[in-house]
Chain A
Amino acid sequence: MGGLIAEVEAAVADAFRQEWGRVVATLIRTTGDWDLAEECAQEAFASALERWPRDGLPRNPGAWLTTTARNRAIDRLRRRSTEAAKLREVATMAPVDAATDDGDDGDDSDDGAVPDDRLRLIFTCCHPALPLEARVALTLRTLTGMTTAEIARAFLITEATMAKRLVRAKSKISNAGIPYRVPPANLLPERTGGVLAVLYLLFNEGYAASGSADLVRWDLCVEAIRLARLLADLMPDEPEALGLVALMLLHDARRAARVDADGELVTLENQVRTRWDLDEIGEGVAVLEAAAQHGRPGPYQLQAAIAACHTSALEAADTDWARIAELYARLVRLVPSAVVKLNQAVAIAMARGPAAGLELVEALESSGELTGYHLLPATRADLLRRLDRPAEAAAAYREALDLAPTEPERRYLARRLAETQDAASGR
């Protein structure tokens, strides 16, 4: 019996991961009430835990959950008798559900004529009229089912603050008339870029974390990859969605090697490459190739291609820096941001020598665009060190140390500073 219960619990947990977003997305469309949708979805999963051990697993867990959640919504709306109009709307969704009962994964849609509700939900959560931090939180809450407490922990703020952020975002959606839809063609490219940016931000929040104390933040990477895959599935004509999946996989594959046994940050060139996840790298490269089939390169595909250059080198010395520098040059044309230019400078330094890189870094410095960004002096320091100018390098490391935002980064820079000072004093 214990085995059966464990099996059912595993099935519910699996259904939760697979179906939460779909159930919530459908209920939001039919009730227009975000809180009601979340509450009823929650109750449906609780009910599954109770009934599946007794009645056996339903043939289509997703449809079972959606139907159960919908029935809960009808019950609740019936109790609030004033919302008769909504009730009628929810009640009429029954036939739609019956149709999807056999459709299972919804792969039978006619070229996306009826968009998946989850796509509506993603675009609504990532609407640019919402503050960025709310977009990220709302996407996590409604699409992945992470609880408010879990999201708060991952973003290092209190649960009350996170709850307030979510409430405010949901009321703005309903009060300001943010539409629950996939944007029309004229808005789609811009809004898709916005969704991709939110997912990448989510991934980077998790990726920037390091050390075992930050395990909960690593969940953000897992969720970000799941969401990016979902977006790529739902938007098969958007190669940048695939590019983002590839980029995330290729970074994620190096996650274990980024931090050593003492929780210290390990730079790319010093990472133990046998600790990279080869399966994940293989998948990332395959996804990137699938994206390239569309013949429409974009910033995420280019960044993924750069990441692939790194992961395909068995040793740091094998890295094809000339190709990376060329990819950065293309990226700068699409995204002329100072951070991208800084990375380009690093690649050029590796391909053509530190002096060439330093020239670009100094140009960036005088532009003032990256004032206060620790990686600017850190990069200059590194190039000066390689040009055997230790005194100037030490000064730049000190500057970077003052600006670095995380502990592991500060420790790394402090180590480099100490080495450079030793070199400067001729030891």
Chain B
Amino acid sequence: MRYLMLVSQEPDGTPVEEAEPIEWVTEMRERGVRQLGARLRPASDATTVRVRDGEVLLTDGPFAETKEQIGGFDLIECESLDEAIEVAARHPSARFGFVEVRPIWED
């Protein structure tokens, strides 16, 4: 099954070096788990797009005003949720922020 990992870090206070996922990325790529992924620019650089009555409406910032914001994502291929949980739990950000694991809607 494929899952999208939405990786978040606490906006401040995270020791940057420890949250560095380079080792995790290498390991999961070699294991054949991680298919793609990227780090995202901060939520302050986000633009939210909606279309209402044919008009494009733009808002500066993310669509959810929460303290934690998505800092990156990884698309992983796992045998089951148990494996996805294990993979997510090994991501360094899981120790400081959180990782949301969402199954991909497959037909």
Which residue numbers of A lie inside 8 Å of B, CB to CB? Answer: 127, 129, 175-179, 183, 187
Q: How far is the CA of A176 from the CA of B3 in the complex (A)?
A: 9
Nearest chain B CB to A187 CB, angstrom units: 7
Which residues of A are found within 8 Å of B79, using beta-carbon distances?
Answer: 179
**When the two chains form their complex, are residues B80 and A177 in contact, meaning their CB atoms are under 8 A apart?**
yes
Q: Which 9 A-B pairs have the closest CB atoms?
A: A179-B80, A177-B1, A177-B81, A177-B80, A178-B81, A176-B103, A176-B81, A175-B103, A179-B82
Q: Is B85 an interface residue (CB 8 A)?
A: yes
In this complex, how many residues of chain B approach chain A with their Cβ under 8 Å: the count is 11
**Chain A residues, CB < 8 A from B85:** 129
CB distance A183 to B82 under 8 Å?
yes
Taken together as a complex, chains A and B put the C-alpha atoms of A391 and B85 apart, in Å, by 54
Residue of A nearest to B1 (CB): A177
A127 and B78 CA atoms in complex are apart in Å by 17
- For the complex formed, measure the closest distance between the CB of B99 and the CB atoms of chain A, giving whole angstroms: 13
Sample 23 A-B pairs with CB under 8 A, ordered by A number.
Answer: A127-B81, A129-B81, A129-B85, A175-B103, A176-B81, A176-B101, A176-B103, A177-B1, A177-B3, A177-B78, A177-B80, A177-B81, A177-B84, A177-B103, A178-B80, A178-B81, A178-B82, A179-B79, A179-B80, A179-B81, A179-B82, A183-B82, A187-B82
Nearest opposing residue in chain B for A184, CB measure: B82
Which secondary structure characterizes the binding site on chain B?
mixed
Instruction: Give A138 Cβ to nearest chain B Cβ, in Å.
Output: 15
Q: Which residues of B contact A183 (CB under 8 A)?
A: 82
Residues of B contacting A178 with CB < 8 Å? Answer: 80-82
8 more CB-based (< 8 A) A-B contacts, given A129-B81, A179-B80, A183-B82: A127-B81, A176-B81, A177-B78, A177-B81, A178-B81, A179-B79, A179-B81, A179-B82
Question: Within residues 54 to 105 of chain B, which ones have a CB less than 8 A from any CB in chain A?
Answer: 78-82, 84-85, 101, 103
Residue of B nearest to A127 (CB): B81
Task: Give the Cβ gap from A144 to chain B, nearest Cβ, in Å.
Answer: 25
- With a CB–CB cut-off of 8 A, which chain A residues contact B103? 175-177
B20 to chain A, nearest CB (A): 26
Alpha-carbon gap, A177 to B105, bound state (A)? 11
Chain B contacts of A187 at CB under 8 A? Answer: 82
CA–CA, A175 and B79, complex, Å: 13
Smallest distance from the beta carbon of B106 to chain A beta carbons, Å? Answer: 9
Tell me, rounded to whole Å, the shortest Cβ–Cβ distance linking B30 to chain A.
20
Chain A: which residue is nearest B84 at the CB level?
Answer: A177
Task: Compute how far the CA of A176 lies from the CA of B104 in the bound complex, rounded to whole angstroms.
Answer: 9
A385 to chain B, nearest CB (A): 47
Q: In the docked arrangement, what's the CA distance between A178 and B85, Å?
A: 10
B102 to chain A, nearest CB (A): 8
B residues in contact with A175, CB < 8 Å:
103
Task: Tell me the complex Cα distance, A155–B71, Å.
Answer: 40
Q: How far is the CA of A183 from the CA of B81 in the complex (A)?
A: 12
Note all chain A residues with C-beta closer than 8 A to B84: 177
Name the residue among A127, A177, A183 with the largest chain B CB count within 10 angstroms.
A177
Contacts of B1 in A (CB 8 A): 177
CB distance from A42 to the nearest CB of B (A): 28
Least distance between B90 CB and chain A CB atoms (Å):
13
A332 to B1, CA, bound (A): 41
Contacting residues, chain A, for B78 (C-beta < 8 A): 177
Which residues does chain B contribute within 8 Å of A177, judged by CB atoms? 1, 3, 78, 80-81, 84, 103
Name the residue among A129, A176, A187 with the largest chain B CB count within 10 angstroms: A176
Complex CA gap A103/B81 in Å reads 34
Complex Cα–Cα for A176 and B4 (A) = 11
Specify which of B78, B82, B85, B103 lies most central, judged by the most chain A CB atoms within 10 Å of its CB.
B82
Residues of the B chain whose Cβ atoms lie less than 8 Å from the Cβ of A129: 81, 85
By beta carbon, the residue of chain B nearest A178 is B81
**Shortest Cβ distance from B100 into chain A, in angstroms?**
12
Smallest beta-carbon distance A1→chain B, Å: 53
How far does the alpha carbon of A187 sit from the alpha carbon of B103 in the complex, in Å? 21
> Distance in Å from the Cβ of A28 to the closest Cβ of chain B?
15
Contact with A along B1-37 (1 / 0, CB 8 A): 1010000000000000000000000000000000000
C-alpha gap A258/B80 in the complex (Å): 46
Query: Given the complex, which residues of A lie within 8 Å of B101, measured CB to CB?
Result: 176
The complex places the Cα of A178 from the Cα of B1 at a distance, in Å, of: 10
Contacts of A127 in B (CB 8 A): 81
* A170 CB, nearest partner CB in chain B, Å: 14
- Report the bound CA distance from A179 to B84 in whole Å: 11
CA distance A150 to B81 in the complex (A): 31
Q: How far is the CA of A178 from the CA of B83 in the complex (A)?
A: 10
- In the complex, the chain A residue whose C-beta lies closest to that of B105 is A175
Residues on A with C-beta less than 8 A from B82 are 178-179, 183, 187
